[in-house]
Amino acid sequence: MAKIAEPVLRNDYQRSIAAYWNAERDPVNIRLGEVDGLYHHHYGIGGYDASVLGDDQAMIAEMHRLETAQAEVLLDHLGDIRPGNSLMDAGSGRGGTSFMANLRFGCEVDGVSISEQQVGFANEQARQRGVSDKVRFHFRNMLDTGFETGAKRAIWTNETTMYVDLQQLYAEFARLIPIGGRYVCITGCYNDVTGGRSRAVSQIDQHYICNIHPRSAYFKALADNGFVPINVVDLTAATIPYWELRAQSSVATGIEDPFLTAYKEGSFHYLLIAADRI
């Protein structure tokens, strides 16, 4: 294995993100994860069953179902993955999407996160699931992972790109993914057509200490680093029901209104991009 650049956290900004995730115990993440042991820190897609309204535990389970459905759609876009392939989950959180990928493809998955707390939690999950030999989590920076050049058949980012510079990120992914490999991204991005960062988008940035990028920045940075999109899916309409359900739930965090405003006014999209490395 190539040498990991030290330190993992390069600057005060990254240290503040790590501190946020190390301290994070939000019921919207923990209670949903407890439903079946898959812990997600991303949003859901698809319509919800209105019969759950008013039943707290049923609403939690329904939100979790929509978050798992989001990760299934991401994995659907990874292409032809074989058990012998190795994948990377860039910004892996508590590991939910990594475990789903291993279950589906039977392959190795390396997750990287700058939160040591998350890495410890996810490795313990791997141990409990009996997959520690295949699914491993590392305290590493996705901008400089230390994995061997060409080692990853596919990489995904599930709601993590708003924390980093896209040019630096895709330069590292271009190093890790060989020609013909795949990159899949699900992210929120702001709309170049409606103009700059709207008030609602700024509120989301402030809530998560992130820097939401414009839609255009993704396609420029991908093209600059040898990635050619094969699928672009606007998931905005599909994620609105999740936010409407969450806004009525006991685990609402207060950020639901800015998301609903931003999506409905058109200043923000929920986007999936699948791109091939050429």
Q: For residues 104 and 265, which CB has a smaller minimum distance to ligand SAH in the complex? A: 104
Residues 28, 32, 38, 40: which binds ligand SAH (CB under 6 A)? Answer: 40
For the bound state, the minimum distance from the C-beta of residue 54 to ligand SAH, rounded and expressed in Å, comes to 28
Residues 31, 42, 77, 153: which binds ligand SAH (CB under 6 A)? Answer: 42
- One-letter amino acid at 2 equals A
- The reply to whether 138 sits near ligand SAH by the rule CB under 6 A is no
- The reply to whether 143 sits near ligand SAH by the rule CB under 6 A is yes
For the bound state, the minimum distance from the C-beta of residue 97 to ligand SAH, rounded and expressed in Å, comes to 5
Relative to beta strand 135-139, strand 108-113 is: parallel
Length reported for the chain: 278
- Give 48's contacts (C-beta < 8 A, 6+ positions apart): 62, 63, 66, 241, 242, 244, 245
For the bound state, the minimum distance from the C-beta of residue 26 to ligand SAH, rounded and expressed in Å, comes to 11
46-53: Cβ within 8 A, 24+ apart: 46/238, 46/241, 46/242, 47/241, 48/241, 48/242, 48/244, 48/245, 52/245, 53/248
Q: Name the DSSP class of 210.
A: -
- The reply to whether 153 sits near ligand SAH by the rule CB under 6 A is no
Q: For residues 53 and 109, which CB has a smaller minimum distance to ligand SAH in the complex? A: 109
* CA atoms within 13 Å, Cβ hemisphere of 265: 15
Edge to edge, the sheet with strand 268-277 lists 135-139, 108-113, 86-90, 154-158, 182-190, 268-277, 227-234
- The reply to whether 100 sits near ligand SAH by the rule CB under 6 A is no
Q: For residues 54 and 254, which CB has a smaller minimum distance to ligand SAH in the complex? A: 254
- The reply to whether 236 sits near ligand SAH by the rule CB under 6 A is no
Hey, what are 86's tokens?
Answer: 């190795």
Cα–Cα distance for residue pair 59/17, rounded to 1 Å: 29
* CA atoms within 13 Å, Cβ hemisphere of 195: 3
Q: For residues 195 and 206, which CB has a smaller minimum distance to ligand SAH in the complex? A: 206
3-class SS shares of the chain: helix, strand, coil, % to 5: 45, 20, 35
Cα–Cα distance for residue pair 3/93, rounded to 1 Å: 23
- The reply to whether 41 sits near ligand SAH by the rule CB under 6 A is yes
Which segment (113-121, 240-248, 251-259, 267-275) binds ligand SAH by CB under 6 A? 113-121
Cα–Cα distance for residue pair 70/90, rounded to 1 Å: 16
Cis peptide preceding 229, ω within 30 of 0: no
Q: For residues 112 and 222, which CB has a smaller minimum distance to ligand SAH in the complex? A: 112
- The reply to whether 92 sits near ligand SAH by the rule CB under 6 A is yes
For the bound state, the minimum distance from the C-beta of residue 113 to ligand SAH, rounded and expressed in Å, comes to 4
Could you say which residues in the range 178-217 bind ligand SAH, by CB under 6 A?
Answer: none
Residues 102, 158, 239, 267: which binds ligand SAH (CB under 6 A)? Answer: 158
- The reply to whether 113 sits near ligand SAH by the rule CB under 6 A is yes
Nearest residue to ligand SAH by CB is: 93
For the bound state, the minimum distance from the C-beta of residue 93 to ligand SAH, rounded and expressed in Å, comes to 3
| Chain residues in the site for ligand SAH (CB under 6 A) | 14, 17, 21, 40-42, 91-93, 96-97, 112-115, 118, 141-143, 158-160, 163-164
